């Protein structure tokens, strides 16, 4: 072995022991008579000491020749330190070196390997293997490892078995865009990489596997957005002979197990909210429930007073921000500018300041009396000191806009603490979603989700109102998982495809295998998939998923370290019978 101890291991109780350590040179401090080196490995840092007069001259000279990130091996004696460092676990001791072996020299790294590095994003990604030496990134991956271990432990304890499903599968138009892989043997034919193992896990239920899971890579060729990765990992699960209630309980169990065993936190049982209620109270199907600030609707209170904006509005709705009544004109203008940004799209913002002295001032004083405004304030349950912010217009659009404003106010009031966790089930999602571009309904979740039996009769007349047995888990305003109870019989599945605009031919061509399987004894089943990268980032209190992935792609979908995607040779193109348009 090139070491007897790691760099995070030695303590005061080891004083006088002989040790051999190996690692990277983090730092050299040369005081002339004394030279210290911080030696680093995955486990920590140990201080090495070389002293003029005491250390052999050649050894001292060799130590002085080291540079940052050299890989070395040292032998020496553990001694008690004169000035201790209580910030690191090995801070009571240092190693008096008697032998130094340079295992490999290193070029000066392009950025500092410190917790706070001077390296920009692109540079860190190009030299990701160096970036991974930094504590915060290493810790993020260790957290990920723990999450995966605990996920397996929990699911195993619940009788789930992990089954691998293929990566070269078949392209289907529903859902996101597929990544495709040309076949060399079958010219003009393509595999697709799975967007999820959805159909395979359902087939495993038909096979009788009963409880399946897989920590699995999925691929979606979607438009680039900040913090979206073209390949990502899911905890993918499916169960047979269950009701929705069983799924919710089982996976609430998983989340609570993870909080308990990874973070040592007992989270309360996960509350449930229907989709309609989430939209009404938060304007979002993934509300951040770390804080209240629920929407209050006052549409009917505002009518008949000749304020044209409210008069014509389908919905007048607002939030009350605690302790913000004394916001200055400038602060309120900023909020108005915020909601008027094109991404948000509100026409304006109405405010009501319930002053600390009990008086009320609003931007619509011309139209509404103090008494009118008092009634509004009561509806909001507002107290002196609060600021009511109101938006008006078409129902769905206005709710979405107010959601953005609520999140901003939550942020400003410090209510979105990364170390606080609030999980929520959102239930009863709509089955279908209207798509303006294609001018037809698409499955909101996917085409295998079952409609609520009591809503099936609406499929022809009011398809938008049909609810699904579909659920999402939300943590701190982020959707971390989603799933549904599936259709498990051929007639219902074919009817679903018809409603989604598939011809019988198309449905058969793309999903015939699944529908056929449903004719050979398919048990009732349902499942869920969690976005593993995102879940890890939430557990790690980070905004970005990037550092929870060892080798991520950048925001342009590139791996700048290996330089991919890249062109391939003419020979390869010929083999695949691919023509590149110049």
Which segments are annotated as binding site for ATP?
A: 220-222, 229, 479, 531-534
Interface with ligand ASP (CB under 6 A), residue from 22, 198, 284, 403: 198
- Identify whether the C-beta of residue 304 lies closer than 8 Å to the C-beta of residue 445: no
Rule CB under 6 A: say whether 527 interacts with ligand ASP. Answer: yes
- CA distance from start to end of the chain: 56
Q: Which stretch binds ligand ASP (CB under 6 A): 26-34, 82-90, 405-413, 526-534?
A: 526-534
Q: With contacts defined by CB under 6 A, how many residues of the chain interact with ligand ASP?
A: 8
Q: Which stretch binds ligand ASP (CB under 6 A): 319-327, 382-390, 471-479, 480-488?
A: 480-488
Nearer to ligand ASP, 198 or 302 (CB): 198
Nearer to ligand ASP, 283 or 527 (CB): 527
User: Please, is 460 exposed, middle or buried when counting C-beta atoms within 10 Å of its C-beta (0-12, 13-18, 19+)?
Assistant: exposed
In 3-state terms the chain splits into helix, strand, coil percentages (rounded to 5) of 30, 25, 45
Distance CA 538, CA 253 (A): 17
Rule CB under 6 A: say whether 196 interacts with ligand ASP. Answer: yes
> For residue 509, how many other CB atoms are within 10 A of its CB?
12
Nearer to ligand ASP, 76 or 447 (CB): 447
Distance CA 359, CA 384 (A): 8
Peptide bond into 319 cis (omega under 30): no
Rule CB under 6 A: say whether 451 interacts with ligand ASP. Answer: no
Distance CA 92, CA 87 (A): 10
Rule CB under 6 A: say whether 531 interacts with ligand ASP. Answer: no
Rule CB under 6 A: say whether 214 interacts with ligand ASP. Answer: no
Alpha carbon of 91 to those of 25, 44, 84, 85: distances in Å? 17, 10, 6, 4
- Identify whether the C-beta of residue 577 lies closer than 8 Å to the C-beta of residue 187: yes
Q: Which stretch binds ligand ASP (CB under 6 A): 66-74, 257-265, 477-485, 508-516?
A: 477-485
Nearer to ligand ASP, 77 or 171 (CB): 171
Residue 469 Cβ vs ligand ASP, minimum distance, rounded to whole Å:
11
Residue 362 Cβ vs ligand ASP, minimum distance, rounded to whole Å:
44
Interface with ligand ASP (CB under 6 A), residue from 62, 484, 493, 494: 484
Give the pair of three-digit tokens for residue 481: 């998982």
Residue 187 Cβ vs ligand ASP, minimum distance, rounded to whole Å:
31
Tell me 495's DSSP state: H
Residue 391 Cβ vs ligand ASP, minimum distance, rounded to whole Å:
31
Rule CB under 6 A: say whether 199 interacts with ligand ASP. Answer: no
Q: Which stretch binds ligand ASP (CB under 6 A): 93-101, 302-310, 351-359, 523-531?
A: 523-531
Nearer to ligand ASP, 91 or 482 (CB): 482
Interface with ligand ASP (CB under 6 A), residue from 76, 119, 477, 482: 482
Interface with ligand ASP (CB under 6 A), residue from 528, 535, 536, 538: 528
Beta strands in 293-410 (DSSP E): 296-297, 315-321, 350-354, 360-362, 387-393
Distance CA 385, CA 401 (A): 24
Residue 489 Cβ vs ligand ASP, minimum distance, rounded to whole Å:
18
Nearer to ligand ASP, 44 or 482 (CB): 482
SS3 for 357? Answer: coil
Rule CB under 6 A: say whether 250 interacts with ligand ASP. Answer: no
Residue 231 Cβ vs ligand ASP, minimum distance, rounded to whole Å:
13
Residue 444 Cβ vs ligand ASP, minimum distance, rounded to whole Å:
11
Q: Which stretch binds ligand ASP (CB under 6 A): 288-296, 300-308, 453-461, 522-530?
A: 522-530
Residue 269 Cβ vs ligand ASP, minimum distance, rounded to whole Å:
22
Backbone angles phi, psi at 370, to 5 degrees: -55, -40
Residue 541 Cβ vs ligand ASP, minimum distance, rounded to whole Å:
25
Nearer to ligand ASP, 47 or 484 (CB): 484
Distance CA 445, CA 472 (A): 10
SS3 for 1? Answer: coil
Nearer to ligand ASP, 399 or 486 (CB): 486
Give 401's contacts (C-beta < 8 A, 6+ positions apart).
283, 339, 344, 345, 346, 391, 393
Strand-pairing partners, residue 564, are: 559
Residues, the chain? 582
Rule CB under 6 A: say whether 529 interacts with ligand ASP. Answer: yes
Give per-residue burial for 122-161: e unless 16+ CB within 10 Å, then b: eebbbbbebbbbbeebeebbebbebbeebbeebbeebebe
Nearer to ligand ASP, 351 or 429 (CB): 429
Which segments are annotated as binding site?
A: 174, 220-222, 229, 445, 479, 486, 531-534
Residue 222 Cβ vs ligand ASP, minimum distance, rounded to whole Å:
13
Rule CB under 6 A: say whether 483 interacts with ligand ASP. Answer: yes
Residue 174 Cβ vs ligand ASP, minimum distance, rounded to whole Å:
12
Which segments are annotated as binding site for L-aspartate?
A: 174, 220, 445, 486
Site residues for ligand ASP, 93-122, by CB under 6 A, read none
- Identify whether the C-beta of residue 272 lies closer than 8 Å to the C-beta of residue 424: yes
Long-range Cβ pairs for the range 10-16 (8 Å, 24+): 10/46, 10/78, 10/90, 10/93, 10/95, 11/89, 11/90, 11/92, 11/93, 12/80, 12/92, 12/93, 14/78, 14/93, 15/78, 15/79, 15/80, 15/93, 16/77, 16/78, 16/79
DSSP notation for 532-582: HHHHHHHHTT-S-SGGGSSS---TTS-BTTTTBS----HHHHHHHT-----
Q: Which stretch binds ligand ASP (CB under 6 A): 89-97, 128-136, 397-405, 527-535?
A: 527-535
Rule CB under 6 A: say whether 23 interacts with ligand ASP. Answer: no
Nearer to ligand ASP, 23 or 527 (CB): 527
Binding site for ligand ASP (CB under 6 A): 196, 198, 482-484, 527-529
């Amino acid at each position: 072995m090139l070491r007897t101890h790691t760099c995070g291991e030695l303590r005061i109780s080891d004083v006088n022991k002989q040790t051999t350590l190996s690692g990277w040179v983090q730092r050299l401090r040369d005081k002339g008579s004394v030279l210290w080196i911080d030696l680093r490995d995955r486990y920590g840092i140990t201080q090495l000491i070389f002293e003029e007069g005491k250390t052999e001259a050649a050894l001292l000279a060799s130590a002085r020749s080291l540079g940052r990130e050299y890989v070395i091996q040292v032998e020496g004696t553990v001694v008690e330190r004169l000035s201790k460092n209580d910030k690191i676990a090995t801070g009571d001791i240092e190693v008096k070196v008697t032998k130094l072996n340079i295992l490999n020299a290193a070029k000066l790294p392009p950025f500092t390997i410190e917790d706070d590095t001077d390296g920009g994003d692109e540079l860190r990604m190009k030299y990701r293997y160096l970036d991974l030496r930094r504590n915060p990134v290493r810790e993020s991956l260790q957290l990920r490892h723990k999450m995966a271990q605990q996920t397996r432990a929990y699911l195993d304890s619940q009788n789930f078995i992990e089954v691998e499903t293929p990566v070269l599968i078949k392209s289907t138009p529903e859902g996101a865009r597929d990544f495709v892989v040309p076949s060399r043997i079958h010219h003009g034919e393509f595999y697709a990489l799975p967007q999820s193992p959805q159909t395979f896990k359902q087939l495993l239920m038909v096979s009788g596997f009963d409880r399946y899971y897989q920590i699995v890579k999925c691929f979606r060729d979607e438009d680039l957005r900040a913090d979206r990765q073209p390949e990502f990992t899911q905890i993918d699960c499916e169960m047979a002979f269950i009701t929705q209630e069983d799924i919710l309980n089982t996976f609430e169990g998983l989340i609570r197990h993870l909080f308990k065993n990874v973070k040592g936190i007992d989270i309360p049982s996960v509350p449930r909210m229907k989709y309609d209620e989430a939209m009404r109270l938060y304007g979002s199907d993934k509300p951040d429930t770390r804080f209240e600030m629920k929407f209050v609707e006052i549409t009917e209170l505002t009518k008949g007073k000749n304020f044209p904006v409210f008069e014509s509005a389908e919905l007048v709705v607002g939030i009350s921000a605690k302790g913000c009544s004394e916001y200055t004109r400038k602060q309120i203008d900023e909020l108005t500018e915020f909601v008027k940004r094109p991404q948000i799209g509100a026409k304006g913002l109405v405010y009501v300041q319930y002053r600390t002295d009990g008086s009320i001032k609003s931007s619509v004083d011309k139209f509404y009396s103090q008494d009118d405004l008092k009634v509004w304030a009561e509806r909001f349950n507002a107290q002196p000191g609060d600021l009511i912010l109101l938006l008006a217009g078409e129902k769905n659009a206005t709710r979405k806009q107010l959601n953005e404003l609520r999140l901003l106010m939550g942020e400003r009031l410090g209510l979105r603490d990364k170390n606080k966790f609030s999980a929520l089930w959102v239930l009863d999602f709509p089955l279908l979603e209207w798509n303006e571009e294609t001018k037809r309904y698409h499955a909101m979740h996917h085409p295998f989700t079952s409609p609520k039996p009591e809503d099936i009769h609406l499929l022809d007349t009011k398809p938008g109102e049909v609810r699904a047995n579909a659920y999402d888990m939300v943590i701190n305003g982020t959707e971390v998982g989603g799933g549904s109870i599936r259709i498990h019989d051929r007639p219902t599945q074919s009817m679903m495809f018809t409603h989604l605009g598939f011809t019988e031919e198309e449905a058969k061509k793309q999903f015939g295998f699944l529908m056929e399987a449903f004719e050979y004894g398919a048990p009732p089943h349902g499942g869920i998939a969690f976005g593993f990268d995102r879940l890890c980032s939430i557990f790690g209190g980070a905004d970005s998923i990037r550092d929870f992935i060892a080798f991520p792609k950048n925001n342009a979908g590139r791996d700048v370290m290996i330089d991919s995607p890249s062109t391939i040779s003419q020979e390869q193109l010929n083999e695949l019978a691919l023509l590149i348009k110049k």
